[in-house]
């Protein structure tokens, strides 16, 4: 039996193996909800149990599927296609070794400009002076200066639980962020005293403000090109066992 949960513990589930190997999806919906790109394993309903659903919310992301997320911490947890007797869920939510493997990458043509689904990041492309970022449902949107630095991927347990896979974000000056709408935003206070901003309507990950006030934006939230690229991986000591990092970029065990 495998057990999984969101970061705040408001949603807990169990699944009985065998679990399907992991499929990574680079479509724009998965990129917005996770903040980078989403990954999922899957089981038939009869081998899946919700143990706690106190903060579970569903967003109808299309006429044929809905996405389950935690309204407490914003974790991207489930994908449920209509009319199918299976549920997909994030391997990043699972506690302990998954003993799964990455089976394939899909919708790779929709990947962000700052990374490639496999292999090294592509060359940087042109981006506007200010970029726009938004959640999947559109209730939260803001503009900010084009990223100055690179995008950092974080494989820590917290980022894995929240995104469902791992995160990718870039530093941004919060005083230069201009909000267009933020009616459904919530901030989850992480165990380390940071604040994670997400949309309570669709569950999209938008930004993180650490305990010292440094602000970073989830790269998957950006609409159109970012004009920058992935440049490092941190906390790889905590990475999931079901994927490998194959882009040739520096891998740090912790912060440095």
Which residues make up the interface to Zn ion (CB under 5 A)? 6, 8, 10, 70, 72-73, 135, 137, 139, 154, 156, 159, 199, 201-202
Q: State which residue, 8 or 222, has the beta carbon closest to Zn ion.
A: 8
Task: Report the distance separating Cα 205 and Cα 34, nearest Å.
Answer: 6
Q: State which residue, 131 or 227, has the beta carbon closest to Zn ion.
A: 131
Shortest reach from residue 119's CB to Zn ion, in Å: 23
C-alpha of 229 from chain center: 17
Task: Report the distance separating Cα 26 and Cα 187, nearest Å.
Answer: 25
153 touches 235 (CB < 8 A): no
Task: Report the distance separating Cα 35 and Cα 32, nearest Å.
Answer: 5
β-sheet bridge partners, residue 13: 4, 50
- Phi and psi at residue 96, to the nearest 5°: 80, -175
Q: State which residue, 35 or 227, has the beta carbon closest to Zn ion.
A: 35
Shortest reach from residue 72's CB to Zn ion, in Å: 4
Shortest reach from residue 32's CB to Zn ion, in Å: 8
122-130: long-range contacts, CB 8 A cutoff, minimum separation 24: 122/229, 123/229, 124/227, 124/228, 124/229, 125/225, 125/227, 126/225, 126/227, 127/224, 127/225, 127/226, 127/227, 127/228, 128/224, 128/227
Shortest reach from residue 16's CB to Zn ion, in Å: 23
Q: State which residue, 65 or 137, has the beta carbon closest to Zn ion.
A: 137
Q: State which residue, 108 or 195, has the beta carbon closest to Zn ion.
A: 195
- Neighbour order of strands in the sheet with 140-145: 178-182, 140-145, 130-134, 222-223
Shortest reach from residue 202's CB to Zn ion, in Å: 3
Shortest reach from residue 63's CB to Zn ion, in Å: 18
Shortest reach from residue 66's CB to Zn ion, in Å: 14
Q: State which residue, 6 or 230, has the beta carbon closest to Zn ion.
A: 6
Q: State which residue, 104 or 178, has the beta carbon closest to Zn ion.
A: 178
> Residue 121, preceding bond cis, omega within 30 degrees?
no
């Amino acid at each position: 039996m495998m057990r999984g949960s969101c970061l705040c513990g408001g949603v807990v589930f169990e699944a009985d193996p065998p679990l399907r190997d992991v499929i990574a999806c680079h479509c724009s919906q998965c990129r917005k909800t996770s903040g980078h790109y989403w990954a999922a394993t899957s089981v038939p309903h009869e081998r899946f149990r919700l143990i706690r659903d106190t903060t579970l919310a569903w967003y109808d992301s299309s006429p044929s599927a809905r996405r389950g997320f935690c309204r407490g911490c914003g974790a991207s947890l489930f994908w449920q296609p209509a009319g199918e007797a299976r549920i997909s869920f994030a391997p990043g939510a699972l506690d302990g070794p998954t003993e799964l493997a990455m089976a394939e990458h899909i919708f790779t043509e929709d990947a962000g400009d700052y990374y490639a689904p496999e292999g090294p990041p592509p060359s940087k492309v042109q981006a506007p002076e200010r970029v726009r970022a938004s959640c999947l449902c559109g209730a939260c949107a803001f503009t900010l200066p084009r990223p100055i630095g690179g995008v950092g991927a974080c494989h820590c347990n917290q980022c894995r639980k929240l995104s469902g896979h791992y995160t990718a974000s870039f530093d941004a000056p919060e005083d230069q962020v201009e909000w267009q709408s933020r009616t459904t935003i919530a901030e989850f206070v992480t165990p380390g005293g940071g604040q994670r901003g997400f949309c309570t309507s669709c569950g999209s990950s938008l930004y993180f403000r650490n305990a010292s006030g440094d602000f970073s934006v989830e790269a998957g939230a950006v609409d159109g090109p970012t004009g920058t690229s992935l440049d490092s991986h941190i906390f790889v000591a905590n990475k999931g066992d079901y994927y490998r990092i194959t882009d040739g970029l520096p891998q740090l065990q912790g912060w440095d």
